[in-house]
Amino acid sequence: MEKAQQKLELITKYFSDFTPVQLQQFNALDELYTDWNSKINVISRKDLESLYEKHVLHSLSIAAAFEFAAGSTIVDLGTGGGFPGIPLAIFFPEVKFHLIDSIGKKIKVVNAVAEALDLKNVTTHHSRIEDIKDRKFDFVVSRAVAPLKDLWKWSKPLLKKPSPNSGNQQPGLICLKGGDLATEISESGCRPRVMEVFEIFGEEYFKEKYLLYVPS
């Protein structure tokens, strides 16, 4: 518990107004992912040691840059083990998150984690993003699962038209990416707003990590 508490300080260094329930949920992630990862490998062993930096805090860079209105809906495209969706669902308890992945065992882990944390605002779907029909969302979030060109192609049909429920930002794709993105952005045909994660969180790990926002 003490080890998790120390790791949690990496989160509370940047965010200060969590409820006791949220702190408990963030604190529980360490033990939950360590336990589940020993059964179903969803995070590399090396990364598991840095869970709070490389996965939880990285996911929360979206929360630092975007304010999602209560009642808005977010789909996490290719959620893997639940990132960025699970940390964001803890951060925004009044926002509905739909986490999808084409790999069933990953969704099994996500379901177990969401249930253990009692996250009422999380639903999941074992599916490919292209197979989601007749549903619209305020935002699509994703973490480095495909080139921007593909992410935008998959996201566009799922996004609502702008409405008062969208908060300060109009509906769009928000994705976390790293490295030199010039070619990828050029090939996408998009004109995303690009934010450096290192400017939000001053940890060395976040150098050359970026947040991209493509409004619908």
The tokens 């973490």 sit on which residue?
143
Q: List CB contacts of 196: < 8 A, sequence separation 6 or more.
A: 206, 209, 210, 211
Place of tokens 């050029």: 186
For helices 20-39 and 104-116, angle between their N-to-C axes, nearest 10 degrees = 150
Query: Is 143 a known ligand-binding residue?
Result: yes
Do the annotations mark residue 129 as ligand-binding? yes
83 annotated as a binding-site residue = yes
Sign of CA dihedral 200, 206, 209, 211: negative
DSSP-based three-state secondary structure for 205: helix
The residue among 112, 106, 149 whose CA lies nearest residue 128 is 106
Question: Which residue, 187, 83, 203, 194, is CA-closest to 141?
Answer: 83
Question: Helix, strand, or coil here: 203?
Answer: coil
Annotated binding site for S-adenosyl-L-methionine: 78, 83, 129-130, 143
Annotated binding site: 78, 83, 129-130, 143
